[in-house]
Amino acid sequence: MMTKYRLKVLVLVLIFSMLGGWFPGKARADLSIEDEKKMGDKFLHAALQQLKLVEDPEVVGYVNKVGQNVVAHLEVHTFPYDFYVVDSSDLNAFAAPAGHVFINRGLIEIMDDEGELAAILGHEIGHVQSRHIAQRIARAQKLSIASLGGLLAGILVGGQAGAAMMMGSQAGASSAMLNYSRQDEEEADRKGLRYLEAANYNGEDFVKIMRKMGQESWKAGGHAPTYLQTHPGVPERVAYLSSTVETRPKSSKATQKGGNNSDAFLLMQTKLYGGYENPAEASAKFREWMARAETKVMAYYGMGLLQRRQRMMQEAVDSFKNAINLRPDLVPILVDLGETYFEMGEFDKSDAVVSSALILEPDQPMALYTLGRTQLEQGKAEEASKNLARAARINDNLPGIHYYLGMAYGKLNQLAEAHYQFGIHYRREGSLKNAQFHFMEALRYADSPNRKEAIEKELQQLKGEIKEEQRQETKSR
């Protein structure tokens, strides 16, 4: 049975393929590269409105780093690649057209090391390089309006009844066109394995994660994970992957990546469990880790994250301190302790802890971000603006960074820059009218020709986005 999550994505794909005008002229399976890029842009815009993503910058940064390391070893670079972590416990990953790769946190949580993550990302990159999903979406354009109605009815009803409505309609039958064939899977596996090994990971990691997902279907009472429904033929794939890996020359153990639980991988996995997983399952995982010396630090760290999420703030502080006592060199734990003090309103303690983290790692963006927000609360607007601006230069995607920059510049009476930062913030939030207001105010206060020109360009692009949004709203009525 399709999950509600998969239904949403499928509906988006089919709606755009039928009504969004992705392709000039008639529908066809042999899309040009430019056609696929346009399709990818529209899919991404729709998907980001529907999917709940993990926004933790260290999680996203780590997954992107692993993915880009694999991408660097492609023979042909057709598309730029972007990697996203979806806040879903389903075991799934999928490649949207033109290099947008999504992986669920649930799939990352069952992995043992970085090599397994690189293997799944490599496989999805293989689908993109082979252009499998773009070709299948193009074929699915033959879906009728009546079938689209069945899809929409199914998503609106939801649950088992909605899934039954979809599966009983022509739409349900046609939607199977978007599942990969076994031939597609073998091609993506072989390419993915080649990319994986070129990036100096062990090919055995690919076999391990595929076996693991097969085992998960038994744990779930025989219901295959979503990934196995859309990526068929797992037993055969494990067999040929295993035999292929056995015949490959082994890389040096000294240079191979991902073969153990590195600090970076465990930190990322801990953040997923502590920040997003069901509390009961997260607690069970941390109890399991607490019993092993090599994962005890992460058990304390994860419990701190979970306790903070549950607003057990003093307990969170104690857990973070226990982790820091064991590993005072792990900057992310110091930053999260500082963030917890910030949320408790204990700004002097937050300042002290985060400043100590920056001594260890001067360009740590989350430390700079937390310090800047703390300094805003302490009335130190000048220092806050510098630290927030520095954080934004290192990682412009920190959640809320432009809002706080706007606050800092506003307190310094730098109104053009304050409104400009608020404009960026509201544009990213999808509040286009608010963004337009702030850009217009920024233009009013700007006092240099170059700055005015830059703001006018932003306004022109924004007006186009507002017009498109209004057109879509009119079309949907």
Q: How far apart are CA 332 and CA 269, in angstroms?
A: 13
Long-range Cβ contact pairs of 30-38 (< 8 A, separation 24 or more) = 30/135, 31/131, 31/134, 31/135, 31/138, 33/78, 33/79, 35/134, 36/79, 36/97, 36/98, 36/131, 36/134, 37/79, 37/97, 37/98
31: its two tokens? 């899309």
Q: How much is the pLDDT for 206?
A: 92
Per-residue pLDDT for the chain (477 aa), expressed as one digit of tens each?
344 444 454 444 444 443 344 444 433 446 788 888 887 787 777 677 777 899 999 999 999 999 999 999 999 998 999 999 999 888 888 888 889 999 999 999 999 999 999 999 999 999 999 887 767 666 655 544 334 334 433 332 334 444 554 455 444 444 444 455 677 788 888 999 999 999 999 999 999 998 887 776 545 444 445 555 555 556 777 777 777 787 776 654 434 565 445 889 999 999 999 999 999 999 999 999 999 999 999 999 999 999 999 999 999 999 999 999 999 999 999 999 999 999 999 999 999 999 999 999 999 999 999 999 999 999 999 999 999 999 999 999 999 999 999 999 999 999 999 999 999 999 999 899 999 999 999 999 999 999 999 999 999 989 888 887 788 777 666
What 8-state DSSP symbol labels residue 141? G
Nearest to 373 by CA among 415, 401, 398, 396: 401
Q: How much is the pLDDT for 473?
A: 72
Q: How much is the pLDDT for 178?
A: 46
- Cross-strand bridge partners of residue 104: 86
Q: How far apart are CA 274 and CA 103, in angstroms?
A: 18
Domain ranges in the chain? 4-247, 414-477
Residues 6+ apart with CB under 8 A from 152: 11
Region label for 270, one of left (φ > 0), alpha (ψ between -120 and 50) or beta (otherwise): alpha
Q: How much is the pLDDT for 234?
A: 66
Contact 350, 374 (CB under 8 A): yes
**∠ CA 94-99-100, rounded to 5°:** 55
Contact 188, 132 (CB under 8 A): yes
**∠ CA 290-291-293, rounded to 5°:** 85
Q: In CATH terms, is domain 414-477 a member of 1.20.58? A: yes
Please give the radius of gyration of the chain, using alpha carbons only, rounded to the nearest integer.
24
Q: How far apart are CA 173 and CA 176, in angstroms?
A: 6
Inter-axis angle of helices 204-219 and 114-130, to 10 degrees? 100
pLDDT tens figures, 288-327: 999 999 999 999 999 999 999 999 999 999 999 999 999 9
Please report the sign of the dihedral spanned by the C-alpha atoms of residue 275, residue 277, residue 283, residue 284: negative
314: its two tokens? 């003093």
Nearest to 419 by CA among 451, 467, 380: 451
Q: How much is the pLDDT for 83?
A: 97
